[in-house]
Structure 1
Amino acid sequence: MNTINPNKLYNSKWTATQPRNKEKHFIVTKLLRNEEEQVVEVVIEAVHSNREITLAWQELTDASVWKMGWK
């Protein structure tokens, strides 16, 4: 997978490779930063249900779980 710039993740779209509860497509709605203003976590929202999930931004680099864009 391409390298990801965490500062540019806001509003990016992601597809779960193993959808659960009909939640397949997600959008990054928040970037959570530490004291040094580095992105440490992101909040993603399921398009289908509007459920929010907080995860470390590095988890999006796992191609077995996430694909960039909506497929």
Structure 2
Amino acid sequence: SGGSFFAHPAIDEVDNDELFTKFQQLLEDFGHLGRVHREATADGVVDEHERANLERIANDMHRRIQELLALTWRIY
């Protein structure tokens, strides 16, 4: 259906440290996306493989953001 789905962890397994880790991972994802984007656009053309790679990274980031929000709602 085009969605991103993941299992919610049990509430007793998560805390603020887990949220902090998710934020750190997301920041790393942004850096990775920036590098891959720069490389993909360097020649003035984004080919099919580069586009698929950029979309995969963006989808992973979207999933991580949704996980982070879900954890926040469960903790707070």
TM-score of the superposed pair, with normalisation by structure 1: 0.28
Structure-2-length-normalised TM-score: 0.27
Answer with 1 or 2: which has the greater Rg: 2
> Greater strand percent: which structure?
1
Task: Using CA pairs under 8 Å that are at least 6 residues apart, name the structure with larger relative contact order, 1 or 2.
Answer: 2
Larger helix fraction of residues: 2
